[in-house]
Amino acid sequence: MSRKFGAEFIGTFWLVFGGCGSAVLAAAFPQLGIGFAGVALAFGLTVLTMACAVGPISGGHFNPAVTLGLTVAGRFPAGQVIAYVVAQVLGAIAAAAVLFMIASAKASFEPGGFASNGYGVNSPGGYPLASALVIEVVLTAGFLLVILGSTSKAAAAGFAPIAIGLALTLIHLVSIPVTNTSVNPARSTGVALFATNGALGQLWLFWVAPLAGGALGGAIWKWLGDE
């Protein structure tokens, strides 16, 4: 059992370090910047690579909303949810701490948003709370449908990590301007602890909306009639 929790810690660490690291380190410089499309791809690649690497051990959730959605769909035991979420949040915090240590070593470093999520003044496009709430619920629900569908018995074997990684890339391409894309409470928590833009005060939304979306996606898949 400890191997599963360790895999979730490592996978979530990789997601936050690679995805948020691409925003903090690689997208911040005009001459070297990868842009938000590059950040979106980076998040997708983190999930794709770790789903292949440690997915066979833990299922490759790396996200409390995914764990909840799989539980609602009947694909994951409710008794392991809390332990998985704790491992995911700890992995996210550890990744954010390492990323902060690297970034802050530069003399001109200013934490600012530090790849955190937000609405209103903390939204990249200035979108309000209502917009952030709706897009996070809808996209997380869609993410769960992709996960559940691509890992079903009827799906082509071996392609799930690609579908899931590309889905997360698409999600970021759509929602970075709105919330800087969460769909993952652990990812939001890790970087919010180091941001200096008031992200912690808005963190509640990035637990409530993704968890609601995850549960919705799981419920829809169960209604559709999973095998």
pLDDT of residue 9: 98
For position 11, what pLDDT does the model report?
98
Domain range for 98: 2-224
Per-residue pLDDT of the chain (227 residues; tens, 9 = 90+): 699 999 999 999 999 999 999 999 987 666 667 888 999 999 999 999 999 999 999 999 999 999 999 999 999 999 999 999 999 999 999 999 999 999 999 988 899 999 999 999 999 999 999 999 999 999 999 999 999 999 998 888 889 999 999 999 999 999 999 999 999 999 999 999 999 999 999 999 999 999 999 999 999 999 997 55
- The DSSP output letter for 223 is H
**46-74 as b/e, with b when 16 or more CB fall inside 10 Å?**
bbbbbbeebbeebbbbbbbbbbbbbbbbe
Residues 12-40 have pLDDT tens digits of: 999 999 999 999 998 766 666 788 899 99
pTM of the shown model: 0.96
CATH of residue 93's domain is: 1.20.1080.10
pLDDT at position 226: 59
**What does each C-alpha distance from 158 to 14, 115, 205 come to in angstroms?**
21, 32, 34
Alpha-carbon distance of 62 to 48, in angstroms, equals 11
Domains identified in the chain, total number: 1
- At 157 the pLDDT is 80
> Is residue 186 a contact partner of residue 85, using CB atoms and an 8 Å limit?
yes
